[in-house]
Copies of this chain bind each other. A is one copy, B any other.
């Protein structure tokens, strides 16, 4: 299969490595707006060549992967679909779905598009961040597949089965709701935690000295790029605000229990929180 990947960052680059590793891509063509990123992606062997013209890059592939930040995604996907023919398949790999699905709902080639979200990533970005094996064993969500052509869905299912990933089917609205709960809020929480510590702890050396593995793991996502995350929060704004209000309520509740020295109440809340260990051992 010839594959064109538009956007050679963490996700696009990692998918390139996985497809190559599993013999699923014979020739990989990349499209990348940043010239230094394009050069680095070639050096790292993520793709075989860079193609400057989007329509040409699309026409040369059996599968086109759009892996740009969500604000660029809604702009890039329609011209990609303009250029595809009936035998080609287009996927995105974006973290929000409703805005994108709406943007292409009326497109004459909508059937060739399958909306995909592999639930994997790291706090790093750019071609250097690409990792072979990032997706193995993880979940990939396929959204609104009823609006895609059956043969296109089949190609995508076979591809992600082969990585291998666990396939989960959701409609776009459910996807955006559940990812706000399970993914987007943990980024907000981590950004706020980093801002808190940077504000309170004026001696940066103390952060380095005292940071244990526990602190590092909660603050790791705070290293994530605003170029990736601001468009996600923007496109999923109402769901993120809803879960963020719940998070503020839960934090305020823990604060009130501690302020009034209700240690039985605090113990009970921590026991409730411990239940997460039953779901994610």
Contact = CB atoms under 8 A, between A and B. Distances in A.
A201 interface: yes
Q: What DSSP secondary structure best describes chain A's contact surface? A: helix
Contact of A197 (B123, B185, B240): B185
A270 B191 contact: yes
A199 B193 CA distance: 21
Interface in A4-22: none
A48 B144 CA distance: 61
Copies of the chain in the assembly: 2
Contact of A193 (B186, B216, B222): B186
A139 interface: yes
Measured as residues with beta carbon below 8 angstroms from the partner, the interface class of chain A is 35 or more
B215 A197 contact: no
A246 B192 CA distance: 9
A266 B242 CA distance: 17
B279 A230 contact: no
A187 B210 contact: no
Contact of A215 (B182, B206, B224, B272): B182
A218 interface: yes
Interface string A257-281: 0110101001101111111110110
A110 interface: no
Contact of A189 (B183, B201, B207, B251): B251
Q: Across chains A and B, which 6 residue pairs bring their CB atoms closest together, nearest first?
A: A223-B277, A226-B270, A194-B273, A194-B276, A186-B218, A217-B217
